Structure 1
Amino acid sequence: MWDAIALLESRGAGVIRHPGGTLLAHLRRVHARLDAWGGRSDLLSAGMCHAFYGTDGFAVSLGDVERRDELAEVIGESAERLVYVYGCCDRGRSYPGLAEGGEFVDRFTGAPMALSEGERRDFAELTVANELDVVDAGALNAQQARGLYELFGRWRPLLSPAAAREVELRLTAPTTEPTDA
């Protein structure tokens, strides 16, 4: 992990602004959340580097998708593949059918991309960890948080019990308004 942190720091992650502080701080929190959920090694490495190629929601890129071997040398090919999958996701076209095995579209190429069931699970778990950190930073309004809750509810078959539990705890809104009784 220290090699990954050194690479991220060398690419400016420690000074790039992100909800809740810097991009590096966000990446560390996502990694820690995945670790707390019992994530496997490749998922943890991907969590630490998930924004390396930028994302559909965060345009800043630390690395070039034409030089993916640079990141693979540091975190391994399997973890780098997950970082690429996370970064290349065309969210508008890929999120709706993720749990059902629907089309997953690469935003860099515009082409559909085949994902294994395990990759779909890892992608969903990583997405939940990322978005919960953004929620914790106060960067989403109530309507956006409700939208995530609904989306992650559809993804529940892909999530670990720990991730599903945290979605319920962090994103469930009160069902009634407080009274002055």
Structure 2
Amino acid sequence: MKTDAAAAELLLTRGADRVEHPGGTLLAHLRRVHAMLGEWGARPELRLAGLCHAFYGTDGFGTALGDPRRRGELIDVVGTEAERLVYLYASCDRRSSYPHLASADGPFTDRFAGAVLRPPQADRRDFAELTVANEVDVLTASAELRAAHGRALADLFATWRPLLSPPATRAVEDLGQWAGEP
């Protein structure tokens, strides 16, 4: 059985506690996203993905703790399903993928492979849930980022409502209320 503790240990060995991130360190952010997903009732694999979501870096956060060409290293710690979600999250070309996420056949561009995918609805839901948790945490931690990006993210996430759980939808509604406020 793959555990949160083993994943946290891997993140520590890769230096996540030494990488600056809004609200403290990358490790602190990853733990908050993991906790938020747990509060929302996410299944264990999605919570593990939340804990490790920046392992390969992201389109918005370039620091990577692992190499997406060596996915087995993370699979050994979190399992196939959680790692697959981490890869999906990290691989997203946001500019081309975000606007179409709620469309059942909308394109999803893998920025590592340059491939255009059509993820199934379940993956779109997981991706949306993880993205909302990530951005809510970042915007909660940084008034500057909230002022710069809060309104646009609230508007984008409103289009994703069909993909979101009720708790994530409430978080989006709350974000819409304070987005853009310093």
| TM-score, length-scaled by structure 2 | 0.93
Which of 167, 170, 174 in structure 1 is aligned with 2:172? Answer: 167
Which of 150, 155, 158 in structure 2 is aligned with 1:150? Answer: 155
Higher relative helix content = 2
**1:111 aligned partner:** 115
Consecutive unaligned residues of structure 1, counting only runs of 5 or more, are 175-181
Consecutive unaligned residues of structure 2, counting only runs of 5 or more, are none
**Deviation readout 1:143-179 (Å, 9 max, x if unpaired):** 51010110000000000000001111133249xxxxx
- State, as a whole percentage, how many aligned pairs show the same letter: 58
> Which has the higher mean CA deviation after the structures are superposed, 131-140 or 91-100?
131-140
**Deviation readout 1:12-60 (Å, 9 max, x if unpaired):** 0011000100000000000000000000011000000000000000000
Size of the alignment, in residue pairs?
174
Which of 22, 37, 41 in structure 2 is aligned with 1:34? Answer: 37
**1:83 aligned partner:** 86
Contact 1:146 1:172 in 2 (8 A): no
CA distance in 2, matches of 1:48, 1:169: 23
**Who wins on radius of gyration, i.e. which is larger?**
1
**2:68 aligned partner:** 65
- Give the superposition deviation at 1:83: 0.0
CA distance in 2, matches of 1:27, 1:78: 18
Letter in 2 for 1:117: Q
Letter in 2 for 1:111: A
CA distance in 1, matches of 2:115, 2:149: 28
- Give the superposition deviation at 1:110: 1.2
- Give the superposition deviation at 1:109: 1.4
